[in-house]
Structures are given as C-alpha cells and as structure tokens.
Amino acid sequence: MKEKLIEKTLMLLAFSAIGALLLMAIFIFKEGMPVIFKVGLGDFLFSTHWAPTKGYFGIFSMIVSSLFVTTGALIIGVPLALSCAITLAEFTPLRLMRILKPTIELLAGIPSVVYGFLGVVLLVPLIRDYLGGPGLSLLACSIILAIMILPTITSISIDAIQAVPYSYKEGSLALGATHWQTIRMVILKAARSGIITAIMLGMARAIGETMAVIMVAGNALKLPSSPLSPVRTLTSNIALEMGYAAGDHRAALFATGIVLFIFIMVFNVSANIITKRWRRE
Amino acid sequence: MIFLRLYLIFFFLIALLGCRPSNKEGVVITIAGSTSVQPFAEKLAEIYMEHHRGVIINVQGGGSTAGIRSVKGEAADIGTCSRELMEEEKDLKRIVIARDGIAIITHPKNKIQNLSLSQLRDIFAGRIRYWSELGWVHKRIHFVTREEGSGTRCGFEEMVMHDVPISDEALVEDSNGSVREIIAHDPHAIGYISYGIVDKWVNALSIDGVEPNLGTIKGKRYELTRPFLFVTKEEPHGLARDFIDFVLSPEGQKILEREGLVGIR
C-alpha cells in the first residue's frame, strides 16, 4: 500500500515537470498565434520590416541573424572544442587532465552577462579598430558564443572519446596505424554520435543565448551583409522590447518565441535522430 | 492546544492586516500614462507613501495617449504625459512637473559641436552616412537608437524625426546607460540620451546653436525639450491635490532633479 503511494507520488512529480513544459508551450502558442494569423504567416516569417508600434511584424532578418550567429559560433567553436577534447583525452597525462577538465567546465559556470561585458570592453573595440564597422557585430557575437559553447562541447566530447573501448585503440595500433591515424579513423568514428550530440547541445545553447548577445550584437534590424554588420537575433528581439510592449506588439514577441521554440525543437529532435541512427549502424 | 490557540491568533492577525486598507474615500489614487514619466512617478509615490501611512498610489504605464484617455474615462485620477497636449486634449487640467532634455551625444574626440535639426534627422534616417558630409573625417557614422516602445525614442521621433522612420541600420540599445557606454568608446558614434545622465565621457552637441544645459532646457530654448505633465480631468482635490503639491514642493522637485530631470523652479 505504502509502496503504491510512493510510486504514485513520484509519478505525479515526474509528470508535473512535463506538465509545466506543456503549459508553457500552450501559453506561448496561445499568445502568439493570433498575431501570426493577423499579419499572415508568409509576411511574418519572410518580411524584413519590423516596426511593431506601426503595425509591421516581419522577423526574417532576425531568423537569418540567429542562424548566422549560431553557424559562426560553431565554425569558430567546434574545431577548438574538438581539438581540446582530443588533446585532453588522448595526449594529456591522466593527472593533468583531472585538473584541466574541471577548469574548462568552470567556463560554463560564468554568467553570460560577464561574457557580454568582456565582449563589449575587449573584443568590440578590437574589431572596430582593426577590421572596421561599429564593432558590435555578427563576428563579435559569434566569437563570444563560441567561447560560451566551448565547455559544453569539450566535456561531452571527452566523455564520448573515453567511452570508446580500449580494445579498439589497441587493435588499431597493433595493425600498424600511427597514434594520429588511430584517433582519426577509429576513435573519432566510434565516438561520433557522442560528439554530434555535444555539438547539437552547443548549438541549442548558442541560439538560445540572450544577454551576451544583446550586449555585443548591436541589435540593428537590417539583414546582415557582412560579418561586421550589427545583427539582432530572435532572443534579443524578445528581451529588448518586452519592457514596454503591449497589445499586438507583445503578441508579436510571443510569436517570435514560437519561432525560436520550433527551432530548438527541430535541433533537439534531429540530434536524437542522428544519434540513434549511428548507434544502430 | 496551545498550537491551536497560536494558530487562531495568527489567523486573526492576518485577517486584520488584510482588512487594513478599508473603503475610506480617497485613500487610493491611480496614476497612469507615459512610460518615460513612470519611473519618476513611482519614485515620488514611494516617498510620498513613506510619509503618509495608509495611502496607496498605483502607478501604471501605457503611454501618454493612454494616460490621457484613462483620465478622461476616469479610470485614473492623474494621467502622466511626456509631450505637450494636443488641441482636443486642452480641456484637461495640465500641470508641468518637470522638463526633460534629450541630449545628442558624441565621443569627446569628435570635432563636430553643433548640428541642425534637419542634419540630425538625415543622420538617423540613414541619408547622411559619413562624417565627412558634416565636415569631419571620412568615416561611417555609427548611429545608436533606443528600442521600439521606449519613451526617449518616442520623444526623439516626435521632436526630430517627425514622420521619417529611423533607418534599420541603426544600432539598438535598451537603456540610456548602454547608449552612453557605446558612444563613450566609439569615436564615430552618435546617439541620444536623457540630459540627466550625460557625463564627462561623452560630449553633448548643440542643436541649431543652442547648447543643452539647465538654463536652456528650463527656458525651452533648447529645441529637444519635452515637458513631463500631470493631467487631471477637473481641478485636483483631496489626495490627488496633496500629492501634486508634494511633487511641486521643493522636496519633490529635488527628488526629480536627483533622478536626472530638470525642475521647473
């Protein structure tokens, strides 16, 4: 009897978490959908004219900016994170790694506003002085995000690499492969589903990051024409304008949230599918 | 037993506390309107409520026009407004509580000290793109605006842009402070902030030859000056009168000046 009760209680608690997610999704959709129907899905997604107090709700440039910024962060961050993971897992003595890995994970604990502040004070002037433009730019944003996703990708990749059975490595070395060939052709192949998951998680963090992005991205509404252009992402659009928004403007911000929600869903689901497919092979 | 008794006492205390703001006439007033005035009205209300226990002042935003509408519809006792009243609103009682200047700021290294209103409009509309067109170096102008919905942006659009939209190339920041921060570090940037928070790291430009300072804003000689108004339907009386008197008193004015506005005295 008591056992049953505890079981039921635990079940209830478990479902309350899912319930919260469900309520959130319903609320966002309920608040945001009417304005999408009002302006039309096509105009909402593919118009670049955003002037919510004057009745224009087009978020195309923000969608593009969000994708560019995330891609940029991956282009800069993934090679760094992967080489970091390979070095730590394969070439570093175990004792040194026990110190270095937590140090990298510490990076994940730094609040994003600190990254943003460092970006504004250090990175933005460098870009402005040496590359041109206002400094607040897609590039600055990508670099900051690359540093922010580094610990996630690195530490999950290390775990994935270490999970590869030692016999694979021994076998490869015994066949005459060099250490590098073994890493490239055996270990990375065997660990790839873990690495892909790591990258996907990093990507989700990058597209969802807000505070640091607002501080370094410049938030201009124009479609970016170069890496030095200022950009506004979906997340920063919501955070920037929610303060005073009312009526349709507020609803349009919720609608921006819907688009973001769908993006993150797509990322997570495709990460799951990719992982599963490679596990099966 | 003792717990039950304690519980009952506790319960009655809570019930008593809950009853405290009983239906005495005129103990609650509502202020609604401009989001630019809102933070100042909140500050004043907070201090006023500290002096007068039991009085409750609700401060809401919504915008100048919404504030006036709610005063007309008697949804609010006092409306706040950060622009002059329009013709059809002139039947309301209008009290100027303070003035706010919008300062146009640049980096101290910038050689330009004066702009005309139309030059300013052309910069923010994206028609003047290089500082060389204004007689300085051949560098792109980085112009910084505020986010859609901000009171300062609204004032700037009304007084400078009229019906010309601000270009979508503008950098957008969400507070006076971060606009100032960007201008202070970028020699080729220009932006606008409330006069009250201009500091030595940025240079406030003259507009049509008039430099912004306490005197020119008070005397309305500086072009980009807007009044902060309290609006009531009839001659204010009771608590509303008392609160307005407090705002206009030397103490109230000192609070407003400390918060960065220009007093009316």
Q: What is the pLDDT of residues B250-261, one digit of tens each?
A: 999 999 988 888
In the prediction, which pLDDT does A273 show? 85
CB contact under 8 A, A220 and B142: no
pLDDT above 90 for B155: no
pLDDT above 60 for B3: no
Q: Where is average pLDDT lowest: A152-161, B81-90, B135-144?
A: B81-90
Q: What is the pLDDT of residues A224-257, one digit of tens each?
A: 999 999 999 999 999 998 877 778 888 999 999 9
pLDDT above 70 for B10: no
In the prediction, which pLDDT does B148 show? 84
Let me know how long chain B is. 265
CB contact under 8 A, B147 and A240: yes
In the prediction, which pLDDT does B16 show? 52
In the prediction, which pLDDT does B26 show? 53
CB nearest A244 (choices: B140, B150, B178): B150
In the prediction, which pLDDT does B30 show? 92
Contacts of B189 in chain A (CB under 8 A): 134
Chain A's closest residue to B63, CA to CA, is A244
Q: What are the DSSP calls for chain A, one per residue?
A: -HHHHHHHHHHHHHHHHHHHHHHHHHHHHHHHHHHHHHH-HHHHHH---EEGGGTEE--HHHHHHHHHHHHHHHHHHHHHHHHHHHIIIIIS-HHHHHHHHHHHHHHTTS-HHHHHHHIIIIIHHHHHHHT-S-S-SHHHHHHHHHHHHHHHHHHHHHHHHHTS-HHHHHHHHHTT--HHHHIIIIIHHHTHHHHHHHHHHHHHHHHH--HHHHHHHB---SPP-STTS-B--HHHHHHHHTTT--THHHHHHHHHHHHHHHHHHHHHHHHHHHHHHHHH-
Residue that wins the pLDDT comparison between B49 and B34: B49
What global pTM score does this model have? 0.82
Percentage of residues in chain B having pLDDT higher than 70: 90
In the prediction, which pLDDT does A225 show? 92
pLDDT above 70 for A281: no
CB contact under 8 A, A214 and B174: yes
Contacts of B177 in chain A (CB under 8 A): none
Task: Give the DSSP H/E element, type plus range, for residue B226.
Answer: strand B225-232
In the prediction, which pLDDT does B24 show? 45
In the prediction, which pLDDT does B98 show? 92
Q: What is the pLDDT of residues B106-147, one digit of tens each?
A: 999 999 999 999 999 999 999 999 999 998 999 999 999 998
pLDDT above 90 for A45: yes
Q: What is the pLDDT of residues B169-228, one digit of tens each?
A: 999 998 888 899 999 999 999 999 988 888 899 999 999 999 998 889 988 899 899 889
CB contact under 8 A, A125 and B185: yes
In the prediction, which pLDDT does B68 show? 87
Query: B78 in helix, strand or coil?
Result: strand
In the prediction, which pLDDT does B22 show? 44
Residues B40-59, mean pLDDT to the nearest whole number:
91
CB contact under 8 A, B165 and A51: yes
pLDDT above 70 for A19: yes
Residues A209-214, mean pLDDT to the nearest whole number:
94
CB contact under 8 A, A53 and B148: yes
In the prediction, which pLDDT does A75 show? 97
Highest mean pLDDT: which range of A239-243, B64-68, B231-235: B231-235
In the prediction, which pLDDT does B2 show? 57
Angstroms from A211 CA to nearest CA on chain B: 12
All residues at 6 or more sequence positions from B121 whose CB lies less than 8 Å from its CB, including other chains: B160, B161, B162, B164
Mean pLDDT of chain A: 92
CB nearest A220 (choices: B61, B165, B169): B169
**Are A209 and A148 in contact, with CB atoms under 8 Å apart?**
yes
Contacts of B82 in chain A (CB under 8 A): none
Number of Cβ within 10 Å of residue B35's Cβ equals 23
In the prediction, which pLDDT does B7 show? 61
pLDDT above 60 for B20: no
Size of interface A-B (CB pairs under 8 A): 67
Residues A270-280, mean pLDDT to the nearest whole number:
79
CB contact under 8 A, A135 and B186: yes
In the prediction, which pLDDT does B8 show? 56
In the prediction, which pLDDT does A2 show? 85
Q: What is the pLDDT of residues A73-82, one digit of tens each?
A: 999 999 999 9
In the prediction, which pLDDT does B21 show? 45
